[in-house]
Structure 1
Amino acid sequence: MMRKILIYSILLIALFSGCQKDFLNLAPISDTNTENFYRNEEDMLNAVNAAYASLRTGGQYNAAMYTVGEVASDNTEILDAQAGIDNSQIDAFTTLTNNGILNNMWNHHYEGILRCNAVIDRIPAIEMDETLKNRYVAECFFLRALMYFNMVRTFGDIPLVTREITDVQEGYDYTRDPSAEVYAQIVADLNFAIENLPVTYAAADIGRATSGAARGLLTKVYLTQQNWQEAANQAKAVMDLGVYDLMPSYAAVFAIPNKNNVESLFEVQYIKGGFGLGSPFNNAFAPRLSGQIVTTIGAGGGQNHPTAEMASIYETGDQRRAASMADGYQDGDQFVAIRYVTKYLDPALFAAGDADNNWPILRYADILLMRAEALNELGYAPDGEAFEILNRIRQRAGLAAITSAILPDQSSFREVLAHERRVELAFENHRWFDLVRTGRALETLRAQGKSIQEHQLVFPIPQVQIDINPDQIRQNPGY
Structure 2
Amino acid sequence: MNHISKIVACFLLAAPCWSCSDFLDEELKGELAPDNTYTSTYGFEVGSAGLYAIARSEYNTWGENGAFMHNGACPYEALQISTDIATMGTKDGSIQPFGYLTMTSNTGFVESFWKWAYSLIGAANEILEYSEKNTNWNSPNDKLLFQAEARFFRAYAYRTLVYLYGDVPYVETVEDKFRIDFTRTPKKEVLDKMIADLKFAMQNLPSDPDKVQVGKLTTWAAEHLLSEVYLMAGDYVNAETCAEDVIDCGYFSLMEERFGAKAKDKGDVYSDLFVENNQNRTSGNRESIWVMQFEYQTTGGGTNSDDWTRRAWEPKYFEIPGFVLADSLGGRGLSQLIPMKWWIGEDAGFFETADIRNSEYNIKRRWYYNDEKKPETYGKPCPITDETWFTYYRLYPALTKFFYGKEDNLSLTGSYRDRMKFRLAETYLYLCEARLMKGDLPGARDAINNVRRRAHASELTDDSQMTLDFLLDERIRELVGEESRRFTLCRTGKLVERTRKYNEESGDAIRDYHVLWPIPQSMIDSNVGAEFPQNEGYK
Q: Over residues 117-170 of structure 1, what are the superposed CA-to-partner deviations in whole Å (9 max), with x where a residue is unaligned?
A: 111110122211231210111011111111111111111111211112222x13
**Partner of 1:27: helix, strand, or coil?**
strand
The aligned runs of 1:58-457 (5 Å cut-off) are 58=58, 66-81=76-91, 84-126=92-134, 127-128=136-137, 129-167=139-177, 169-170=178-179, 172-202=180-210, 205-248=213-256, 249-260=269-280, 261-273=285-297, 275=299, 277-278=301-302, 279-281=306-308, 282-288=310-316, 290=318, 293=325, 299-312=332-345, 313-322=350-359, 324-327=362-365, 329-332=367-370, 333=377, 334-335=382-383, 336-348=394-406, 351=409, 352-381=412-441, 384-404=442-462, 407-408=463-464, 412-447=466-501, 448-449=503-504, 450=507, 451-457=509-515
Q: Over residues 391-445 of structure 1, what are the superposed CA-to-partner deviations in whole Å (9 max), with x where a residue is unaligned?
A: 22112112122211xx437xx4433222212211111124222222222221211
Q: For the Cα contact (< 8 Å) 2:325–2:331, is it kept in 1?
A: no
Code of the residue aligned with 1:290 in structure 2: it is F
Which position in structure 1 is the counterpart of 2:64? none
In 2: Cα distance, 1:440 partner to 1:226 partner = 15
| Higher mean C-alpha displacement, 239-248 vs 252-261 | 252-261
Q: 1:252 to 1:458 in 2, by over 3 A?
A: same
In 2: Cα distance, 1:275 partner to 1:159 partner = 35
1:290 Cα deviation from its structure 2 partner: 3.0
| Higher mean C-alpha displacement, 240-249 vs 3-12 | 3-12
In 1: Cα distance, 2:99 partner to 2:26 partner = 33
Q: For the Cα contact (< 8 Å) 1:69–1:432, is it kept in 2?
A: yes
Q: For the Cα contact (< 8 Å) 1:78–1:305, is it kept in 2?
A: yes
Code of the residue aligned with 2:286 in structure 1: it is V
TM-score (norm: length of structure 1): 0.89
**Partner of 2:464: helix, strand, or coil?**
coil
TM-score (norm: length of structure 2): 0.80
**Partner of 1:162: helix, strand, or coil?**
coil
Code of the residue aligned with 2:480 in structure 1: it is A
Q: For the Cα contact (< 8 Å) 1:142–1:193, is it kept in 2?
A: yes
In 1: Cα distance, 2:314 partner to 2:495 partner = 27
In 2: Cα distance, 1:106 partner to 1:350 partner = 37
Q: Over residues 330-382 of structure 1, what are the superposed CA-to-partner deviations in whole Å (9 max), with x where a residue is unaligned?
A: 4443455234443122343875245441222221111112212222332345x
Q: For the Cα contact (< 8 Å) 2:291–2:422, is it kept in 1?
A: yes
**Partner of 2:402: helix, strand, or coil?**
coil
Which position in structure 2 is the counterpart of 1:478? 537
Query: Over aligned residue pairs, what C-alpha RMSD do you find?
Result: 2.7
**Partner of 1:266: helix, strand, or coil?**
strand
Q: For the Cα contact (< 8 Å) 1:58–1:64, is it kept in 2?
A: no
Q: 1:119 to 1:20 in 2, by over 3 A?
A: closer
**Partner of 1:258: helix, strand, or coil?**
coil
Code of the residue aligned with 2:44 in structure 1: it is M
Code of the residue aligned with 2:536 in structure 1: it is P
Q: For the Cα contact (< 8 Å) 1:54–1:112, is it kept in 2?
A: yes
The aligned runs of 1:453-468 (5 Å cut-off) are 453-468=511-526
In 1: Cα distance, 2:202 partner to 2:475 partner = 25
Rg larger for: 2
Q: For the Cα contact (< 8 Å) 1:66–1:427, is it kept in 2?
A: no
Q: 1:423 to 1:386 in 2, by over 3 A?
A: same
In 2: Cα distance, 1:428 partner to 1:177 partner = 30
Q: For the Cα contact (< 8 Å) 2:21–2:27, is it kept in 1?
A: no
1:295 Cα deviation from its structure 2 partner: 5.5
In 1: Cα distance, 2:357 partner to 2:419 partner = 17
Q: Over residues 17-56 of structure 1, what are the superposed CA-to-partner deviations in whole Å (9 max), with x where a residue is unaligned?
A: 4667752463134254233221211111010110110022
Q: 1:350 to 1:29 in 2, by over 3 A?
A: farther
| Higher mean C-alpha displacement, 451-460 vs 324-333 | 324-333
Which position in structure 2 is the counterpart of 1:42? 42
Code of the residue aligned with 2:233 in structure 1: it is Q
Code of the residue aligned with 2:290 in structure 1: it is F
**Partner of 1:16: helix, strand, or coil?**
helix
Q: For the Cα contact (< 8 Å) 1:216–1:235, is it kept in 2?
A: yes
Q: For the Cα contact (< 8 Å) 1:274–1:350, is it kept in 2?
A: no
Identity of aligned residues (%): 25
Q: Over residues 64-112 of structure 1, what are the superposed CA-to-partner deviations in whole Å (9 max), with x where a residue is unaligned?
A: 763343223211222122xx22212112212122221222211111111
Which position in structure 2 is the counterpart of 1:13? 12
Q: Of Structure 1 and Structure 2, which has the larger fraction of its residues in helix?
A: 1
1:458 Cα deviation from its structure 2 partner: 0.4
Q: For the Cα contact (< 8 Å) 2:181–2:529, is it kept in 1?
A: no
In 2: Cα distance, 1:422 partner to 1:442 partner = 17
Q: Structure 1, unaligned stretches of length 5 or more? A: none
Q: For the Cα contact (< 8 Å) 1:67–1:87, is it kept in 2?
A: yes
1:299 Cα deviation from its structure 2 partner: 4.4
In 2: Cα distance, 1:430 partner to 1:284 partner = 13
